[in-house]
Amino acid sequence: MKPTLVLVGRPNVGKSTLFNRLTKTRDAIVADIPGLTRDRHYGHGKVGDKPYLVVDTGGFEPVVKEGIMHEMARQTLQAVDEADVILFMVDVRTGCTAQDKIIADRLRQSGRPVFLVVNKAEGMRREVVTAEFHELALGDPLAISASHGEGVHELVELALESF
Ligand code: GDP
Ligand code: MG
């Protein structure tokens, strides 16, 4: 069985951009409109001779009667069930938000391995990027740029180290 990497995070942090890079496809929908990706996308990738499966989440229906937070929580939990490794993405440009903290709490409770990935970090110093995300208490934040490809290879190697 291939290990499954699941991308989790609030809308617009760059999950689909990272998915496309990890699977070398354009299957996921990338857009400036938060919540555009519907449901989950599955793709295959390989690092060295190690194959993996990637799941892009964040299919937040823009019109959900229970509200977006409820839908996000539901989808996050569902995705976590399928994960060997969770890549929890946050956005250095918006900083650490209340939604990030809620997701972090749930992920910590899940007991699954979680890597905290700080995206949109191109051209920034690592210490500056990661500083404010330590409070999520999910270990050392890893700085990447999904759109520029910076830190992505290192991230996948680390995430799949034990597989
Ligand atoms: P998702 O909602 O989490 O799937 O986020 P998307 O992948 O759709 O990306 C949301 C927006 O962030 C798009 O405009 C992307 O081009 C942009 N984006 C994604 N990754 C990066 C990055 O590494 N750096 C910058 N500056 N923008 C990014
Ligand atoms: Mg998306």
Helix, strand or coil for residue 60?
coil
Q: 162 C-alpha vs ligand 2 centroid, how far in Å?
A: 27
Identify the pLDDT of residue 78.
74
Q: Is 9 annotated as a binding residue?
A: yes
Range of 85's domain? 4-159
| pTM reported for the whole predicted model | 0.89
pLDDT at 37: 47
Q: How far apart are CA 162 and CA 90, in angstroms?
A: 24
| Ligand 1 mutation target, pool 18, 19, 30, most atoms within 8 A of CB | 30
Q: Which region among 15-29, 44-58, 99-113 has the lowest average model confidence (pLDDT)?
A: 15-29
Average pLDDT, integer, range 75-80: 73
* Candidate from 17, 25, 60 with most ligand 1 atoms within 8 A of CB, to mutate: 17
pLDDT of 150 higher than 90 = yes
Domain count, the chain: 1
- How would you classify residue 29: left for phi > 0, otherwise alpha for psi between -120 and 50, otherwise beta? beta
Residue 156 half-sphere exposure toward CB, CA atoms < 13 A: 24
Q: Among the bound ligands, name the one nearest to the CA of residue 119.
A: 1
13 lines ligand 1 (CB under 6 A): yes
Neighbours of ion ligand 2 (CB under 5 A): 15-16, 37, 58
Measured CA to CA, the distance from residue 96 to residue 30 in angstroms comes to 22
Q: Quick one: which atom of ligand 1 is closest to the CA of 93?
A: 26
Are residues 116 and 136 in contact, defined by beta-carbon separation less than 8 angstroms? yes
State the CATH number of the domain containing residue 86.
Answer: 3.40.50.300
124 lines ligand 1 (CB under 6 A): no
> Of 36-40, 49-53, 156-160, which has the strongest mean pLDDT?
156-160
The response to whether 82 counts as a known ligand-binding position is: no
Asked if residue 123 belongs to a known ligand binding site, the reply is no
Ligand 1: residue whose CA is nearest its atom 12? 14
